[in-house]
Structure 1
Amino acid sequence: MRNNAEYLSALVDGEIVKAVYLVKAEEGVIASWPPEEGDYEIETIADLTAVPQRDGLFFVIGGDRLHRKYFGIVIKDSILLFRVGKEMYAEKIAERLSKTYLLFRHRNYRNSGGNKR
């Protein structure tokens, strides 16, 4: 089941990030932006994406056989999967987003008195 998730539009600039997909382990792609950005390649990648569910973990998917380059970040029990241009340095972008997310989670946890949100 894929939802049209306009809230993901804040992550897509059309130059660096071309599309974003929200992936759940058992369900595959559940939301994407832009809404018309769905094809066989992303469905196959989502079905094959098996990474440890460690919050903040990032990974890069690319190669000669893929038409596009992707990176993902694990957020709780979901994966945000980004499609970027082949010329983009996905590893560096993913690492920075992951560090920012983990810093935010750590500060949020600390400011809440130790209660996880």
Structure 2
Amino acid sequence: TAESSNSGDDETTATAARDAAAARDPRSQRERCHDALKLALRHTLASGTLGTHRGLPVTAIITMTLKDLDAGCGYAMTATGSRVSIRDAIRMASHAHHYLTIFDDDGRALYLGRSKRIAS
């Protein structure tokens, strides 16, 4: 029938378009699969539908000096005492809700700010 031949043409066209797009992509098949998985996981993490810890959303608390942040090198400390490179901390922060807290030299909080207003 005419419909089945159109369906075959559409499938052939779609296959040719997919093959042409794959030929233009310089990544290997494994790299494309990795990038697709990374995108899916990042989307899932950003959705806000994932887990909590004792009823609170999971949050990474990272402490670093302004000097290290400006330089983009060195190490930051997590709340659990783990060392994280400044580069990794910045990458983690690029996909997070931001809270800025400024402490004085004695560890007293001088400022607590949020990237999103919660309430007055």
The two structures share one fold, judged by TM-score above 0.5: no
Indicate the structure (1 or 2) with the bigger Cα radius of gyration: 2
TM-score (norm 2): 0.28
Higher RCO (CA 8 Å, separation ≥ 6 residues): 1
TM-score (norm 1): 0.28
Give 1 or 2: higher helix fraction. 2
